[in-house]
Structure 1
Amino acid sequence: MNAPTSIWAAQYRGATLGFFGLAFMVAYSTAAITTAMPAAANELNGLPLYGLAFGITMATSVVSMSLAALWIDRSGPQKPLLLGVGIYVVGMLLSAAAPTMELLVGGRAITGLGSGLDGVALYVAIARVFPAHIRPKMFGALAMAWLLPSVVGPALSGLVTEHFGWRWVFATVPVLAIVAMVLLLRGSRGTSMNQAVDPESLEDPAKAAARRLWVKPLWGLIAALAVLMMSDAGTRTQPWWPAQLGIAVVLLAVAVNILLPQGTWRAARGLPALILMRGLMGTGFTIADVYLPLFMIDQRHLPAWLAGLSLTVGGVTWAVGAWLSARGTLQPRQCVRWGALLMTLGLLISALVLLPGWPVWIAWLGWAAAGFGIGMAYPTQSVVVLGQSSRSEQGTNASALQLSETLLTATALSIVGAVFAALLTSGETAYVMAFGVAAVLAVSTLLVSRRAAN
């Protein structure tokens, strides 16, 4: 009998629905909560803590990502995934019921712990449930799961916030999470999702470093504190913010060197280069994604809904790029390199909108190309990293892939944000700086991509 070639085959359908549902839940909560948070901050008189409510989830997720690497490599992904979703649900419910902004921030911190655990566990669970030949299709489906919430999530959340209140936005997410988890557990019965690694495999001298992985959660905590310090320094509200930012960057540099595989910063061929590429690509795309709509509103005087069109266009083409990479008609090497090329060209084309006289549609055209490129490369990176990892290293490498992006993005956004605020009185100079940083990261991604996939 031929092996199934579809993630919707009978034996995989339940797991596919579960994985899709979890990704949909995370995407919906991200879009919806971003829309609802201003109302929450106003009602709770917590505008001074508004930025912290977002930054703290990124910081706490770093801690749990580091812990996930150790746990998953020894016990399999099912228990970390279950606990991660459970913690995520608790954090959402606490946020929904928070009587003060301080407690809402606490709920967001708990949510970050859950998202770090289930983010890493989700990747490894896919590798355990699906055979290698259809694994790209599942990662492509995850990109599709992000598309609909990114398009309709903000509008839906706005309606719920306006008619029922912001608390209901937080309270609806746990329902989606529980339904998705039930589907996943039922659909993954009989798979190796919760099969622990053979202890004897950990005795291999080549994996002796695995014995010392308990150190990583500690450095994950240090990295998380550094992320919070950078986020606070980026607001420039304290006179000592430059020193604070410098100390945070040094701490993070040391922590990242321990948390990521050896050879990452010199783009050693193979997995280290792939992990570095994820960080560079995600950070460059995010910086441009943050400042492009702001430029459209501030300098081109577009309404918010029209300025945000670039986000919608990029989300759609991202999904299309992921679909193309999942078909298997292109080699992983081609998806990674062409994806990096398209993202870089798209970002540079979008930056032309900074020049006087250039039409705004040039930015949307460029962002369509950038979204398509990152859509091609992202799921391919995940597939290749997991495919080249032994079962006893899947958690470690999946964690490194996500830590690379999270930590580099947090660092760059904090530094760019601080410089942007200092240059804001200079008009378009601040935006040129932000897009310049994004362009440098994109070009670096293109260079590293040649070493990332053979």
Structure 2
Amino acid sequence: MSGVSTATARASALWAPDRRAVTVALVLLITLIAFEALSLGTVLPTLVTELRGEAWYSWPFTVFLAASVVGTVLSGRSCDRWGPVPPLAGGPALFLAGLVVAGTAGTMQVLLLGRLLQGLGGGVMIVALYVMIAVIYPEEDRSAAFGALAAAWVLPALLGPTAAGLLTQHLSWRAAFLGLAPLVMAGMVLLVPALRRIGLRPAADPSPSRPGLPVAALGAALGISAITWAAQHPSTTSLLLAVASLVLLAPALRRLLPAGTLTARPGLPVTILARGLLAGTFVAVEAYVPLTLTSVHGFSPALAGAPLTFGALGWSLAANWRGRHAMDPPALIRRGFLVLSVALAGTVLIAPDWGWAWAALPLWGLAGAGMGLAMPAVSVRTLALSPPAERGFNSAALQVCDMLSGTFLVGVGGVLIAALASTTHPTAAVVPLDLLMAGVAVLGAVLIGRR
């Protein structure tokens, strides 16, 4: 009974009178970011046709990603100097402006400007919301807060692509952008009382001097964008571009990540590295699950996307369960890695012609559960290990590591597809990719054990 009562108390702590509006605003803003992210693929074919931008098809994703990197880093620095209020005042406003610009765009270039503003605003908001959780919620309630953020992705995962498709079909693709604008404004209004209460909070201890951070952020944005483009256009030239981009990224990451992150130094560095390994392995395999189901097993696009919905549900359920039970974060991260590794290895069962296609549903639900166990625990542990003056920098490092790892490992999949298989029958590439990612997940479990 005590465990049940503790779980209930933690859940209700999010909805205490002095936190209710903050919790609603956090969940609403993340939900809107998720809707926008998950809906773009649905509206993009119609969008580029109307704006005559077929040659720019991948750029709305690339521009958003590059701008997100810059927004993430600058938000982290601002949070460490003045607290989360300035980024949370500016980030939603940028995101809102981006929605309006994209929704009213008459050319592809204007639409890309809107996507740039959305990426900046989204990157700024994510980091500032993490820091705000550290300011508003005591440490014992942060797991529940991050569980609520995970739950915010469920409705967009279930309804986002379908809703965007219906809006595009019966109204206009523009409604997928403009329809979110009033809800963003509502989230901004809900945040106002909390922002007034927090105010500007210069850190008691000054944050470490990090010269060249904006330049490093720009270098990382360019490097990640080039790798993303190379992954979307696999060829020998693209491979050379990706290698050159990694050279560009190396000095940038030295400034954007805590020392020792890439060598898995125990403590904070390996925790941030764990975020990258989790996100990278999950996204790298997820990117090719629908392709396998459509090209190998003949699934329709709608059915091929069903495992991704199961993954979102598994993620949310596990994150909410984790938020209601007090457990050691490193142990949870390790368990999440192991659960994820089993699911990733299991996906080889759907790759061949004779494979069990419908096993994709429970397997990807299991993969989502592994992520739901580990990802909130990574965020909670990062905040616990971060001095107040470095919460912004370390939260930004989580996002940068996440984006870089996902981009790089999806690119690995693209290289394997180009070298070993084809998009019409990718089995020869998908099997080694799945096993490789499962091995990386096991490595993550080993590394996180080195506290």
Mapped partners of 2:19, 2:429: distance in 1: 49
Q: Is the 8 A contact 1:236 1:418 kept in 2?
A: no
| 2:406 matches 1:409 | yes
Task: Give the C-alpha shift of residue 255 in structure 1.
Answer: 1.5
| 2:371 matches 1:364 | no
Q: Secondary structure at the match of 1:217?
A: helix
Q: What letter corresponds to residue 260 of structure 1 in structure 2?
A: L
2:269 counterpart (272, 275, 288)? 272
Mapped partners of 1:55, 1:346: distance in 2: 29
Mapped partners of 1:279, 1:240: distance in 2: 26
Q: What letter corresponds to residue 115 of structure 1 in structure 2?
A: G
Task: Give the C-alpha shift of residue 306 in structure 1.
Answer: 1.5
Change (3 A) 1:34 1:82: farther
Task: Give the C-alpha shift of residue 335 in structure 1.
Answer: 1.6
Equivalenced residue count is 440
Deviates more, 1:292-301 or 1:357-366: 357-366
| Superposition pairs of residues 26-175 of structure 1, within 5 angstroms | 26-175=33-182
2:374 counterpart (373, 377, 384)? 377
Q: Is the 8 A contact 2:296 2:353 kept in 1?
A: no
Mapped partners of 1:308, 1:347: distance in 2: 17
2:231 counterpart (204, 212, 234)? 234
Gaps of 5+ in 2: 1-8
Task: Give the C-alpha shift of residue 448 in structure 1.
Answer: 2.1
Task: Give the C-alpha shift of residue 229 in structure 1.
Answer: 1.9
Mapped partners of 2:395, 2:202: distance in 1: 17
Q: Is the 8 A contact 1:73 1:395 kept in 2?
A: yes
Task: Give the C-alpha shift of residue 242 in structure 1.
Answer: 3.1
Gaps of 5+ in 1: none
Change (3 A) 1:243 1:32: closer
Task: After superposition, give the CA deviation of every residue in 1:306-328 in whole Å (9 maximum; x if it has no partner).
Answer: 21111011111101110111012
Q: What letter corresponds to residue 158 of structure 2 in structure 1?
A: V
2:349 counterpart (347, 352, 356)? 352
Matched residues, percent identical?
Answer: 33
Mapped partners of 2:117, 2:433: distance in 1: 31
Mapped partners of 1:251, 1:387: distance in 2: 32
Mapped partners of 2:290, 2:200: distance in 1: 43
Mapped partners of 2:60, 2:420: distance in 1: 25
Task: Give the C-alpha shift of residue 387 in structure 1.
Answer: 1.7
Mapped partners of 1:46, 1:299: distance in 2: 30
Q: Is the 8 A contact 2:342 2:438 kept in 1?
A: no
Task: Give the C-alpha shift of residue 355 in structure 1.
Answer: 4.0
Mapped partners of 1:433, 1:59: distance in 2: 29
Task: Give the C-alpha shift of residue 180 in structure 1.
Answer: 1.1
Q: Secondary structure at the match of 1:9?
A: coil
User: Displaced runs of 4+ in structure 1, greater than 6 A?
Assistant: none
Q: Is the 8 A contact 1:325 1:376 kept in 2?
A: yes
Q: Secondary structure at the match of 2:287?
A: helix
Mapped partners of 1:214, 1:40: distance in 2: 41
Alignment correspondent of 2:202: 196
Mapped partners of 1:328, 1:127: distance in 2: 19
Q: What letter corresponds to residue 37 of structure 1 in structure 2?
A: L
Task: Give the C-alpha shift of residue 384 in structure 1.
Answer: 1.1
Mapped partners of 1:136, 1:410: distance in 2: 27
Task: Give the C-alpha shift of residue 444 in structure 1.
Answer: 2.5
1:258 counterpart (231, 255, 259)? 255
Task: After superposition, give the CA deviation of every residue in 1:223-264 in whole Å (9 maximum; x if it has no partner).
Answer: 111122223333447873333222111111221122111111
| Superposition pairs of residues 431-442 of structure 1, within 5 angstroms | 431-442=430-441
| 2:333 matches 1:336 | yes
Q: Is the 8 A contact 2:85 2:195 kept in 1?
A: no
Mapped partners of 1:335, 1:169: distance in 2: 37
Mapped partners of 1:188, 1:13: distance in 2: 14
With normalisation by structure 1, the TM-score equals 0.92
With normalisation by structure 2, the TM-score equals 0.93
| 2:392 matches 1:395 | yes
| 2:19 matches 1:12 | yes
Mapped partners of 1:284, 1:31: distance in 2: 19
Q: What letter corresponds to residue 135 of structure 1 in structure 2?
A: R
Alignment correspondent of 2:6: none
Alignment correspondent of 2:447: 448
Task: After superposition, give the CA deviation of every residue in 1:409-444 in whole Å (9 maximum; x if it has no partner).
Answer: 122223432442343347521322432443233222
Task: Give the C-alpha shift of residue 406 in structure 1.
Answer: 0.8
Mapped partners of 2:150, 2:331: distance in 1: 19
Mapped partners of 1:344, 1:351: distance in 2: 12
Task: Give the C-alpha shift of residue 408 in structure 1.
Answer: 1.7
Change (3 A) 1:280 1:137: same
Task: Give the C-alpha shift of residue 9 in structure 1.
Answer: 1.3
Alignment correspondent of 1:307: 304
Task: Give the C-alpha shift of residue 356 in structure 1.
Answer: 4.7
Mapped partners of 1:150, 1:78: distance in 2: 29
Mapped partners of 2:250, 2:98: distance in 1: 29
Q: Is the 8 A contact 2:31 2:156 kept in 1?
A: yes
Q: Is the 8 A contact 2:421 2:429 kept in 1?
A: yes
Mapped partners of 1:151, 1:344: distance in 2: 25
Alignment correspondent of 2:319: 322
Task: After superposition, give the CA deviation of every residue in 1:121-144 in whole Å (9 maximum; x if it has no partner).
Answer: 110011111111111111101111
Mapped partners of 1:214, 1:84: distance in 2: 23
